[in-house]
Structure 1
Amino acid sequence: MTERRYYYSDELQGQAQLLDCRPLEDGNHALVLDGTLFHPQGGGQPADGGSLNGEPLLRLAPHGDDILHVVARPQPPGRLRWRLTAGCARCMRAGTPPAI
């Protein structure tokens, strides 16, 4: 199960444990992480963008309790470095005025 850290964290970079790397029919690879700050597309909100170990994130997809992080190349087991660079979450993390 992928912990959805975007609900409580404002970080833009960090690390996560790679739990699974699945080849896809289109030649890309779906990574399952223990936690993520990347919000998948949904409810009218665009998906976040960024990179995992320097590999550009192509897309995100909810899959049951997991979020699939799709990249072009497979990644080795262990800790991955991630960097959030685009999307709605980045704008929201920039700060919002307090409610009046």
Structure 2
Amino acid sequence: GSLQPAPAIVFGPNDQLQHRFLAQVGYQGKFPHHLCPSSEGFVKLALAGMGYGMIPEIQAREHIQANQLVNIAPGSGLEVPLYWHFWRHGGELMSRLTRKLQDSNGLV
């Protein structure tokens, strides 16, 4: 079946995950969608059957195992870079954690 008439769930106006995924499977163009700028709300909309969307595996796993959500594209996915943001004056704990992350993998 086609996803085109089904509404997607999009985190916000600058969220391109659904666009990137649809392009990856061959669809270009506009699609109906709901905006939901809350990761918890995003999952709740999906659980309520209000649309489909890209949900991190760790967040969706228990719902998939309980047959509350369905992976509509098994074997497909997107790599999403993660960024470490913190306040420069966020305290010694944040500074130590940031240094540990930098030392452990050099990616921060």
TM-score of the superposition, structure 2-length normalised?
0.27
Higher helix fraction (1 or 2): 2
Greater C-alpha radius of gyration: 2
Higher RCO (CA 8 Å, separation ≥ 6 residues): 1
Higher strand fraction (1 or 2): 1
